Structure 1
Amino acid sequence: MEQEEFISKYAVDRHNTSSLKWDALEERFGNADLTPMWVADMEFKEPKAATEALKKRVENNVYGYSVVPEGYFKTYQAWQKKRHNIRLESEWLLFDNGVVSSLYTLVNTFTQPNDAVLILTPVYYPFHDAIKDNGRRLIASQLVEEDGQFNMDFADIERKIVENDVKLFIQCSPHNPVGRIWTEKELATVLEICRKHHVLVVSDEIHQDIEIGKRKFISALSVEDEKFHNDLIVVTSPSKTFNMAGLLNSHVIIPNEKIREQFKIGKNRFNHTDESILGQIAAEAAYRDGEEWLEAVLEVIRTNYQYVKNQLAANVPEIKVADLQGTYLLWVDLRGLVAPEQVRQFVQDKVGIAVDYGEWFGEDKLGCIRLNLATEPQFIENAVQNIVKFAGQYRK
């Protein structure tokens, strides 16, 4: 599907739809007229197959207690095998109402109050919250930036695991917000460190289908011929892939039977909820028939990324744009142009956009922002043009 055709068919005005991203701008940013590029969802309708499947179910006019649709497991297994060469057994697959919800349950289930939990910062802020809200000790290892790409500091990771007796490591793969797709060697190294020190790993792979560059996503499930299955939990969801966050359907994949049973007990204790049948119906249809839609979305994201990268490099080289390999979220460092205390003024009052701010992801990232590229190119172009237009007022 050509990009113009896709945008014409699937782009949607989300004003007045109870959209957090669009309708909460006044509440969150103090200005309802900003162009929102913050919350990680899209300005595109979900795949047509998903909508049709939902319509069919709605026509049944009954929303009672349900079981997982019969074809879901095979459809999801086929998707994972085809796109990522991941082998899944149906008994490994459990369900939840969202990845963040799972993180809270996992922290409560597999650690005790005041236990240490490791994350790699800057990282998606609910990682921080799931640890701190539950009375655990947050241990952060800083990613190291080299020429726009962020890398793990393995020596620091191991040192902090040992010094703090870390019990749980929550990794983000692909990494939100810095856009890294980890190589198999990188994953194997960090997973081996964790295994050596008996640290359980939770791998958040919600952005696995959003591959922007040439690097292919590799799941922790597949590393070194499934070597790390005994110490691993993977959480995923169709919410980023197919723009379905509001349908509250996610996966918890646990190969180790003992750990899987522990999670079931923990879920009953801390978050006893039933699955979302509408979310499962939509996801099954999308995994079965949504591949063309996804490929079109990826081309829009790539177009937006190249525009931002090229225009800023040519006109405002003081701004550093991270190498976007995965996710549709672009990490932009404004500190070479704008003093940290002036970033909000520049971004909101001049450029006219609402963004996620760097300090939300890591205390030392004041002056950075995260841009959502899963939107119409016109919004991206307007934002970049305003950055270029007002940059001269802020040059040091």
Structure 2
Amino acid sequence: CPECLRIVPAEVYAENGKVLMHKTCPVHGAFKSLLWSDQRSYSGLFKYETPGSPPNPTFHSQQGCPYNCGLCREHKQHTCLAILEVTGRCNLTCPVCIANPSRVKPEPELNHIEDTLKKLLKSEGAPTALQISGGEPTLRKDLPEIVGLAKSLGFKRIEIDTNGVELARNKTLAENLAASGAGGIYLQFDSITEEANICLRGKAQLFSLKEKAIRAALRAGLEVVLAATIVKGVNDDQVWDIIRYAVKRKLRGVNFQTFAASGRYPPILFNPMNRITIPQILREIQVQSGGVLKVADFIPIPCPDVRCSVLAYTIIAEDGRLISLSRLVDAEKIIGLHRMPGDYSHVLEALAQIRGSCFRLLPDSFDENFFSVSCHSLQDVWTVDLKRVKRCCIHELTIDGRLVPFCLYHLTSVNGEPFYKHIVRA
């Protein structure tokens, strides 16, 4: 329930070509929200479903899902990406902030972080991809030490989730992070315009700071993925501009995430029946790019629930154009990239067979020229579905060693009350 957060039954149904969720709370009445703006594409998602790989349960939930996450026996998918919050401090006060960080909570010490990461290793049996987050993690002076600690424990894919402000101001930070073992940054990057950045992040001249952060990261050898929160009527007209910006600078990719009514946000930006959804973002990409990228180029990621994310793998050609792999390689081979991130061997083999006069502009080094565009549909209290939650593979790693599905971890009521009040956070 959006008001009291109790678990209530819901109906998902089609109406006027759209997919909606309707649910009724015995105390607060009925609620309805848009889930997916295109019924036809929604129905086509489910052919991509694959069996999950259940985790080793580390917590027993007496109340059942979604209470007492840890993960428990009801969860259907292991951890692909663990997100570790190392601080609640931040150097921005964004009007839109899913984390809504606190500035007063104590930060975990290095020994606590080490214990937490060891619990993750025990749960998964092997190192996962790791994202170090906050708040704003770059405010911790010992962030390179945290990265080095994770690296020493065997974590190979370590990424810093950042707004880029400190990276832009601290001339040695990016180099220190790279030297400690970080592989890249996941950079909050919502717009190339002043107006949208002020609306979403509350700070003027933010774009120039983002550019400085990107230059610093690239000089240090860090990969850069841009993360854009898309709000209808604010920055949905800029999705191709953001992609084009990233391609021009040979960044690793762009991830668009739909605005979720969790944490802190101006109520004027949210209408549950008139919200941005994945099909609308994909349509905007196709229209704004003039068909360089098309809706059909995007394939559901089958590791989480197929309604959570879609992704297009592309190659940056020698002349700077984007070429979608879905037009060159069978979709099943592309789906294999989701299952084995970083293993491009089967795709490279298929591409090698078509290199010729028609594709002479394909680069010699495919690995360095891969570029991904993804869209993630964040759940909030209006749209949360326990079937999706149980299949989640992106988990917040709490300092007491729990793994909590990302959307559930950040879920709040319409009054800002968190669903997981008891969770131990940074």
Q: Tell whether the structures are fold-level matches, with TM greater than 0.5.
A: no
Q: Normalised by the size of structure 2, how large is the TM-score?
A: 0.31
Q: As a proportion of its length, which structure holds more helix?
A: 1
Q: Which structure: greater strand fraction?
A: 2
| Structure number with higher relative contact order (C-alpha < 8 Å, ≥ 6 residues apart) | 1
Report the TM-score when normalising by structure 1: 0.33
